[in-house]
Amino acid sequence: MPVLLPTSLSEATQMLSDTPGATLLAGGTDLMVEVNFNHRKPNDVIALRHVPELSQWSLNKVAGTVFIGSAVPYKHMESGELAQLVPALAQAARTVGSPQIRAAGSIGGNLGTCSPAGDSLPVLSALDAIVHLASVNTTRDVPVSDFMVGPKRNSREQNEIILGVTLPIRNGRQGYAKVGVRNAMVISVASACFALQDGSPRIALGSVGPTVLRCPHAEQFLSQNLAADGSVSDDVAKEFGRLVSQESKPIDDHRSTAVYRRHAVGVLAQRLVQRGVQS
């Protein structure tokens, strides 16, 4: 059986239905690493490169949301209109791998792999993105928090294709920060996305837990301590950082230590909450 190359979403879902267990290939930046390193031997592959529905994004001004197809490369999020609509996503996209990776990799890959180090995932989490899944004749919408169920596990069914995500357009300040031990092309040691959306503060963390984490206590504390103009005092920022650290669940691995990650994610939270605000 060859690599299947559907040219529409309906064709793709039909192929997936006809070929249970087929491997879905989007940008290839995760899958091919596994193949090259002998960790995976694909038999049936459905390549989504030519499915236009997955490679588009669209703005819904009425709803105040943006839909981003699962195969839209990160490159297109880094600058331009999308970057204006969701700046934190632009910042996250810019930290993904190298320029070559950002030309191929996409949110569908981050969601499909569901690594806690997936760079775009804290943004999706902080903004309560909706994940759209398509199978033959049906679609299903899942809040991203329900989609990411565990380390490298998600709630996609075998017959489903990740169509894309819907995110709210920014209506408050937002930002993303990622710690890596190199100034470019690095896997996250700790990352965080902060957003003030609809007046409520949200923070989501990457690489400091089995999945991307939200920090409800810290968010609650901050919502009670935001100044009327949305600004944050140094003391409040510091306490927010402390609470975020507390809510993180990092581990030791070859990339860093739990102690450092817990510390770093608190510093990121403290800085993010004041970023872009004149103090």
* Three-state secondary structure call for residue 191: strand
Q: How far is the CB of 163 from another protein (least distance, A)?
A: 19
One-letter identity of residue 222? L
With beta carbons less than 8 A apart as the criterion, state whether 16 and 22 touch: yes
Nearest residue (CB) to another protein, 249 versus 275: 275
Reading phi first (left if > 0) and then psi (alpha if -120 to 50, else beta), residue 224 is in alpha
Shorter beta-carbon distance to another protein: residue 199 or 276: 276
CB of 254 to another protein, least distance (A): 4
| Residue 37 Cβ vs another protein, minimum distance, rounded to whole Å | 7
In the bound state with another protein, the residue whose beta carbon lies nearer, of 41 and 61, is 41
Question: Across-strand partners of 69?
Answer: 164
Comparison of 61 and 254: residue with beta carbon closer to another protein? 254
Query: Which residue ranges make up the site for another protein (CB under 8 A)?
Result: 1-3, 5, 25, 27-29, 31-33, 35-38, 41-43, 45, 47, 49-50, 73, 75, 91, 94-95, 97-101, 103-104, 175-187, 189, 191, 253-257, 259-260, 263-264, 267-268, 271, 275
Structure letter (DSSP) for residue 190: E
Check if the beta carbon of residue 206 is closer than 8 Å to that of residue 117. Answer: yes
Whole-number minimum distance, CB 266 to another protein, in Å?
A: 10
In the block, tokens 């206590």 appear at 217
Closest CA to 191 of 238, 258, 130, 123: 123
CA dihedral 202, 206, 211, 216 (to 10 degrees): -20
Please identify, using beta-carbon distances, which residue of 70 and 166 lies nearer to another protein: 70
Nearest to 132 by CA among 143, 140, 121, 144: 140
Minimal CA–CA distance to 121: which of 25, 191, 202?
A: 191
State which residue, 90 or 142, has the beta carbon closest to another protein: 90
CB of 204 to another protein, least distance (A): 16
CB of 150 to another protein, least distance (A): 22
Rounded least distance, CB 39 to another protein, Å = 11
Provide the terminal-to-terminal Cα distance of the chain, rounded to the nearest Å.
62
CA-CA distance, 197 to 186, in Å (whole number)? Answer: 29
- Judged by beta carbon, residue 214 or residue 275, the one nearer another protein is 275
